[in-house]
């Protein structure tokens, strides 16, 4: 619910605010002031993020025989540090790392997160739990909207925009979607507006419903944890299809960089082309929705 207030501002501030009103995404002065305040107060972001770093990285052997994939370096930083940069950009500093393979190395390197400017806690997988299983272990820590990110991908996403869509649509889950030229190599999203109807796994090029694929970055509500079965389970197979049938799963296409580092070729490409995370927030938090 919104309330009307009256404020007095310096004329130069008003001039700067009016310059940002474009009649499209920002339609009036009040909307721009609201956006600036929400940005400053961190109103449009979850407070916690879970990063999944427990995988063995078998396709990257021999690099991953003695080093977990999340600790491979891209331009002088580990993959996980680039994710930290993304979260810090939007004021998210409470990080949960789900560790499994070579977990002692991961925990020793990242520690409590203080040297990276974040606060880290850990979920320890004694056996592989997939992308969903670790969330059951962390259920006592996840009391509000939270992020889940695959720890073996580089991505640059406007989190406030994604969160705004998630909340406006009252979604249980929102998936970041990236565009690829060859969607037949991935699970491809079938959409109705922003609603995800289903994912079509590795379709023939002529049968792909779109060129949008799962980017391994999600905003979820705590209520989905009750849908996760015990033991090894996958968000993609055990949770998201149920949410789609309920009409509670949304997709957020984004234009920022994304690199899947699952193979040697993709890892080398990421090392060459990744632009890093700018510390400055995008000014526009309002985005048109269907």
- 2 within domain boundaries: no
pLDDT of residue 284: 43
Helices (runs of H) and strands (runs of E) counted in the chain: 8, 13
User: 213 forms bridges with which residues in the sheet?
Assistant: 178, 188
Let me know if 202 is a catalytic residue. Answer: yes
Looking only at the bridges linking them, the beta strands covering 77-78 and 73-74 are: antiparallel
Kindly report the number of other CB atoms within 10 A of residue 234's CB atom. Answer: 15
Residue 259 lies in a domain: yes
Q: Is residue 25 part of a domain?
A: no
Domain of 108?
38-273
> By C-alpha distance, which of 164, 162, 185 is closest to 175?
162
Catalytic residue, candidates 19, 169, 190, 202: 202
- What H or E segment, with its residue span, contains residue 168? helix 159-168
Residue 117 lies in a domain: yes
The answer as to whether 155 is a domain residue is yes
**188 closest CA partner among 166, 165, 204:** 204
- The CA distance from 59 to 260, in Å, is 12
Our count of domains for the chain comes to: 1
Distances (CA, A) of 172 to 82, 96, 182, 223, 248: 27, 20, 29, 7, 5
Query: 177 - beta bridge partners?
Result: 214, 253
Is 51 contained in some domain?
yes
User: Residue 289 falls within a domain, yes or no?
Assistant: no
| CA 161 – CA 163 distance, rounded (Å) | 5
In order along the chain (290 residues), what is the average pLDDT of each group of 10 residues? 80 82 71 70 78 74 72 85 92 91 88 93 89 90 93 90 91 92 81 88 80 91 92 90 93 88 75 77 43
CATH number at residue 151: 3.90.550.10
For residue 213, tell me if it sits in a domain: yes
């Amino acid at each position: 619910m919104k309330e009307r207030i009256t404020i007095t501002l310096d004329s130069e501030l008003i001039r700067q605010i009016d310059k940002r009103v474009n009649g499209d995404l920002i339609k009036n002065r009040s909307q721009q002031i609201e956006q600036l305040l929400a940005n400053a107060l961190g109103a449009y972001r979850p407070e916690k993020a879970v990063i999944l770093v427990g995988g063995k990285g078998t396709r990257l052997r021999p690099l991953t025989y003695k080093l977990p994939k999340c600790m491979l370096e891209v331009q002088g930083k580990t993959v996980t540090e680039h994710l930290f940069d993304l979260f810090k950009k939007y004021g998210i500093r409470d990080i949960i790392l789900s560790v499994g393979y070579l977990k002692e190395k991961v925990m020793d390197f990242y520690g409590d997160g203080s040297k990276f400017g974040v606060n880290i806690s850990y979920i320890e997988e004694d056996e592989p739990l997939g992308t969903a299983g670790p969330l059951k272990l962390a259920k006592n820590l996840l009391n509000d909207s939270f992020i889940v990110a695959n720890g073996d991908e580089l991505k640059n996403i406007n989190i406030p925009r994604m969160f705004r869509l998630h909340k406006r649509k009252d979604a249980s889950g929102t998936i970041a979607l990236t565009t690829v030229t060859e969607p037949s190599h991935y699970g491809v999203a079938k959409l109705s507006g922003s609603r995800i109807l289903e994912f079509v796994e590795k379709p023939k090029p002529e049968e792909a419903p779109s060129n949008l694929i799962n980017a391994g970055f999600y905003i979820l509500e705590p209520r989905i944890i009750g849908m996760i079965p015990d033991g090894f389970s996958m968000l993609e197979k055990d949770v998201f299809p149920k949410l789609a049938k309920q009409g509670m799963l949304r997709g957020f296409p984004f234009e920022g960089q994304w690199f899947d580092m699952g193979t040697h070729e993709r890892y080398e490409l990421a090392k060459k082309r990744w632009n890093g995370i700018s510390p400055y927030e995008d000014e526009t938090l309002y985005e048109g929705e269907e």
